[in-house]
Structure 1
Amino acid sequence: MGEAKRRKELGLMPTTFPVEVRAAGGEVTLTGGPDDPAVRGRLLEALRSALPGGGAWEQGYRQIHLMMGRGTEAVATPEDFAAIPVPAHQRLTGDLVLNARSTPETALLLGEGAFLRVRSSETSHDGNTWEPLALPDNGMEQLLRHPLARERGPLLGTLTAEHWREGRIDLDAEPPEALLEPLENLIREWDGEGDDWTRRHLDLLDGDPDRDAAPQAVRTQLELRGLPLLPSSANQPHAAVGEGEDMLAVYLSPLAYTLDGEDWLPYDGAEADSPGSSQLGDLLTQMLDVQTVPVTVWNDGRVEWPEGDVPEEQADRVRGDLRSATGAGDPAAWAEWTRTLLAETFMDEAPDLRTRGSLPAVQGVRLDLPTDSLTDPDDPAQYFIESEVTFDGQTWRDLYAEELPDELREGGAGSAAN
């Protein structure tokens, strides 16, 4: 008996039904589909599991909302994010396929050879008026317009790992037992093993032919954080460990290596991104390859640029956008934004900045604003790049200098605290 004929006689041939699925308050309804009550019950249970609900639905919707470019206010804080209203109703239309032999990558899997090929997705606040829910091609650029999309989750701790070529890994602090093995596996994958050990080392040295000997050990910093509230390519961790509510985001930075097992040499200028995370690097290249206007934003709300660089008809909007994004004019918001800016910029030089009790108050920040954003507020290039800060209103400190500004050293200059 042929396979197709056998499957048909057993009722196992692929079957397609046009359906509509609605979800609200944890309840899922299915319009159309098979008549068999047992099959419908199984499919509804699978749909309840597959469709996000509760906090997962709220966070996922808000992220998609921003990626679709909805809303004009910059989302800079968790409170801004939580203020985005979430629709109570979701509606999917598409094709329900049973007894499938293969599954499209974009389908919603329902188990036991069943999947939903989604044709349209919509949301509604009242169950009557519906809006489409679909990611545009420039969704990530839209997301990165919002400062919160560049924020990592809360810092929970840092570890330093020394990974020896023969396989031993020494951690400077003992993590919880449940995390020990996942973190050690992550270090091995990060540093490579065998031939990849030397290749990875050379990548971090940019293939410097004068330092091509394989190291005896490498030293890496692991930063353990909560998951980002608004995930994006700018805050994507190198890995996540743990499960459920206990999941942690892990960011890795190469620190040093030793050729003889005694003397440690720094990875000067080594990139902190993993070998496979080039998306953000490409994005930053695109950001830098644009014409910009130099802008100075002051803590009291002043926003200044060279005369004539910003069209007069756009000046008020640009000032408003930058005040909203930086908190300028609002002492508490400005202090929080500048603290985050300093902590993330000088993370390697001073990892304690975010948690340090007080920092010298930032009086002003210089940034580069893409000219495209001056006349097109929806242009994805409108997010800016900070370049300098001043703590006294006169002396400017380069944010990309190799050394930590004196004002940020413990006991350094500057006494007015953020």
Structure 2
Amino acid sequence: MGDAKRRKQLGLMPTVHPFEADMDTSGNVTLNRGPQEAALQVMIVDALRQTQPTGPLWDSAYRTSYVMAGRPERLLETAEDVQAIPVPPHRRFVGELALGTAVPEDANTYTHIPLEGGVLHLRQQTHSADGVRWESFPANTDPRRALNFLMQHPASGGLGKVVSTFRIEQAQGEDGQQGRVTIDPEPPEEWLEVLEEIASEWHGQTPEEWADLHAEQVDEDEPTAPVLKRSLFELREPALLLSPIGTPFAQVGGLELHIDPAGSGYSPDGEEWITYDPDAAPLGDSLPPELSQFLDVETVTVTVFADGRVEWAEDDVPADQADRIRADLVQATGAGHPERWADWTENLLLELFADEYPDLNEVETLPVPTAVRLDIPVDALTDADPLAQAFIESELTFDGETWHDLYAEELPAELSAVRPLN
């Protein structure tokens, strides 16, 4: 009996199920041929749905392949040039579901998709504009030549607009279990589990991976594993053309997930935070001494609106000081005067964020908050000195509903959206 036959009888050989499947731009999969067993059909369909780009992500992927194949006849200089490339709505995958095997070490995860108990091997991918005539891009293109084709176009290399930013903190796991993941702000329910899984993959899914990944990032042989890790996840609209310079770590809900190294770090003891990026600003929840002293002072919160309204909780401000305080704050902020308010809030935003995000200085017109909350020491309410010398801005809102904590020093999404790099 041959060795291969013996291994098959012993259950040591992988079981292979050839398949052919079509997918549309929305991610709907039709299995044209494949295994008879329903559970195996579901494995194939689910794997394709979960790993293949759809919607705008498919647009970007196709146009990138089109450009890397050298198809454009002129330079693509603008977004309109890229968007003029028609994207076929039909895709066809030919391959096999191999059970009882693992992804080969030299294989890539684009053609070999790891599954529980096996691998989905994509041997061929074609596309079609009409579902009748099918074609594909060359499979054996010289990577350097393909990259040169891509990077010669001025429209390549950019990142998509930031849609959401999440600060992820994860505790070190114990007894082989993954550590608890905390996400701020709370994501939509449909993203929660996915973001938790990505966080664990990024930080390390086992204690060994957790320690090894940390050692790689701090470039030490045997560092002490941290008790906490922190990462900044940015969800961006798909770039018009994908680039190896800005490759997303994952895809979530039709968006690209990028990890900002400037927001990544670790804590050896749960209190001190250390950044992984030596060029980034320090991490941590510790506050400057002057702000710490301010927080030890009893304060009241006053909300100043762009339209000139000034509000506070009942009995927070002495009645005999109300008119003076209201007039003082309107004078200091420009509330009720659109141009003066815009100037004051722009200076505030740049003072808070331009050091860490200097490209904000290049934005011609920053978004204008509709209201700002001020913390004012109680003693200053009856002091004759101008309140501008006493208050500190604590929160602001651009829409009257979502408030951004300025003590946290995290860039609001409204400002991320107008950064020149987006």
Fold shared by both chains (TM-score > 0.5) = no
The structure with the largest alpha-carbon Rg is 2
Query: TM-score, length-normalised on structure 1?
Result: 0.40
Query: TM-score, length-normalised on structure 2?
Result: 0.40
